[in-house]
Chain A
Amino acid sequence: MSETTDDVQRGLDEPRSGDPDEFVAKKKHSLALRWMHWINFPVLMVMMFSGMRIYWSDRRDPYTLGIGSWEIFTFWPDKVNSGLQLSATLAKGIAFHLVFGWLFVINGALYMLWLSRKGQWRHIVPDFQSVKDAGKTVAHDLHLSKKKPVQGKYNAAQQLTYSAVILIAVLLVLSGFAIYKPGQLAWLEAAFGGYDWARLVHFSATILLFGFFFIHIFQVIRAGWSNFASMVTGYLFERRGHDGVQPASAFGADLAASDTPDDADTAIHEGVDS
Chain B
Amino acid sequence: MTGDARTPAEAERERRLREQTDDGEIISAADYRKRSRRSFLSFAALGVGGYVGFNRLQSMGSRDSDTIPAALRTGLEFNQAVWETIQRDGARARTFSVSDIEEIRVNGRHGLRATSNATAEADLIQVSDEEAAAWEITMTGVDGSNLDPIPLASIKSDFNVHEMVWEHKCVEGWSNIVQWTGVRVSDVLERYAPDQLDADWGVMRTPAMTDGGRQEREYSAAIDRYTLDHSQTLFAWRLNGEDLTNGHGAPVRLVTPFKYGIKQIKRIGSIEFTNDTPSDYWTDRGYDLHAGF
**How many residues from A make CB contacts under 8 Å with B?**
68
Encode B8-45 as 1/0 by CB contact (under 8 A) with A.
Answer: 00100110011011111111111110011001100100
For B79, what are the chain A residues with a Cβ–Cβ distance below 8 Å?
98-99, 102
- A150 near B87 with CB under 8 A, answer no
Known: A147-B4, A233-B32. A90 touches B21 (CB 8 A): no
Residue of A whose beta carbon sits closest to that of B287? A91
Question: In angstroms, how far is the closest chain A Cβ from the Cβ of B74?
Answer: 8
- B4 near A57 with CB under 8 A, answer no
Encode A11-43 as 1/0 by CB contact (under 8 A) with B.
Answer: 000010000111111111000000000100010
- B1 near A270 with CB under 8 A, answer yes
Known: A99-B75, A184-B87. A233 touches B40 (CB 8 A): yes
Number of A-B contacts (CB under 8 A): 192
Known: A21-B29, A182-B94. A91 touches B67 (CB 8 A): yes
- A25 near B32 with CB under 8 A, answer yes
Q: Is A75's beta carbon under 8 Å from chain B?
A: no
A233 to B32, CA, bound (A): 9
- B172 near A90 with CB under 8 A, answer yes
Question: In angstroms, how far is the closest chain B Cβ from the Cβ of A176?
Answer: 13
For B149, what are the chain A residues with a Cβ–Cβ distance below 8 Å?
none
For B75, what are the chain A residues with a Cβ–Cβ distance below 8 Å?
95, 98-99, 102
Encode B88-120 as 1/0 by CB contact (under 8 A) with A.
Answer: 100111100000000000000000000000000
A sample of 8 more A-B contacts (CB under 8 A), given A38-B46, A42-B50, A183-B257, is: A20-B29, A21-B29, A57-B171, A91-B286, A150-B10, A195-B175, A244-B18, A245-B22
A-B contact pairs, 12 of them (CB 8 A): A25-B26, A27-B25, A38-B43, A58-B172, A58-B174, A95-B288, A96-B72, A99-B72, A122-B20, A150-B13, A151-B14, A234-B35
